[in-house]
Structure 1
Amino acid sequence: MLKIEGLTIHYGVIPAVKELNIDIPQGKVVCLIGTNGSGKTTTLRGISGIIKPKSGRILFEGKDLSRLDSHEIVRMGISQVPEGRGVFADLTVLENLKLGAFIRKDKQAINKDLEEVFALFPRLNERKHQQSGTLSGGEQQMLAMGRALMARPKLLLLDEPSMGLAPIIVKEIFKIIKRINDEGTTVLLVEQNANMALSVAHHGYVLETGEIVAQGTADELQNNDMIRRIYLGIH
């Protein structure tokens, strides 16, 4: 579904990612793991059109995205849940969710999707008229995910969904990621919590200073001694 070929992105003169090659098959969960500053978020921003690549191609269903604007990429079927959640604090939960459907005109289907988001995240339904800034971190993460789903994406980009959340909430979020994927949405997951990422992913890539240092199925990465030692904390 998504193929990244030789992607290089610079911040000024500093290369943030170098010659990346990544494949994301339709219907799968693929994770990018790595420490802070390894280029994970930059890769997602390149896919979303927030940053323009210096070289390389990003092919989505065979079309090159690398020169398109972000709103055009959303229309093609890619939604991103940003790091830090990025909800509109002064708007209600319902208003945030409706904003996620801003590119759509199909009113009836939008209402049906709202019901589906509330079924996926019952807590959002309970708080739908509440200002988003008053929600807990976990609820804001759920709202950011629900808002992205309102665009009906074929590919969902998730940037650090576990960041700053209590372990019990992290488990809940990852159960929902698995469910979203089971229902047919392809997922690209960027995550520092390698254990959680590999528990839901089919395939993973390990980034270090903007380059891929390892890749494989989730099982292969979980059994790789270097990965176990550095990223999973297993000696």
Structure 2
Amino acid sequence: MSRRAPHPDVLTEKLEYQFTNAELLDEALTHVSAPQGRGKSYQRLEFLGDRVLGLAISQLLFETFPAAPEGELSRRLAELVRRESCAEIARSWDVGPHLKIGAGEATAGERRNPAILADVCESIIGAVFLDGGYDAARALIGRAFADRLNAPQRAMRDPKSALQEWAQGRGLPTPTYGIVEQTGPDHAPKFRIMVKVKGTESEFGLGASKRIAEQAAARRLLLREGVWTEDDNGIA
């Protein structure tokens, strides 16, 4: 016998937001596999919520850290909007039991799937934005991310690790690296490496080894995108 889904009020109490249009919340909780979805799912709301989340977190960081340079704000933003952070927020809301999901996916434990939870976090934000406007969505985000917003920054990672985290935080594939050119004698080679991240222009790095050249390329891309500044200590 299937377990009965909890009442939506249980979730809205955790969100501290009451929907005027309850259908928006229902759509935000509907996975594409759900038979009751009738062709609808949370995907469009997730798309919207992702953009609202980025804007709201950017504004909150701008107000919370008035003396922080752009590079620090960018690093904090990347950390807060990464998929893992959104999944943690969804868990804090205990979203899993409320999901409308196909029987096979439910049996496979997809209610606990971090990727789905991250998507639903963003779809709920999108639903609140449509229902109550930007101020309501910003308030929801402010409550949910308050502890993380003021947390100390994580220790600086090497450029390749930092670039991978930045890409993953935006739902992008892992960066790829390739040798463009190798010159010099075998005992003292020089490498020119290209790094590519989907949706951005490639960057290049030079080094006496492939690893050094990859780190240099990753650092150049981080600098170009404003994730790092020249003052950041990376391996270049």
TM-score by length of 1: 0.25
Of structures 1 and 2, the one scoring higher in RCO (CA 8 A, sep 6+) is 1
- Please tell me whether Structure 1 or Structure 2 has the larger radius of gyration of its CA atoms: 2
The structure with the greater share of residues assigned to helix is 2
The structure with the greater share of residues assigned to strand is 1
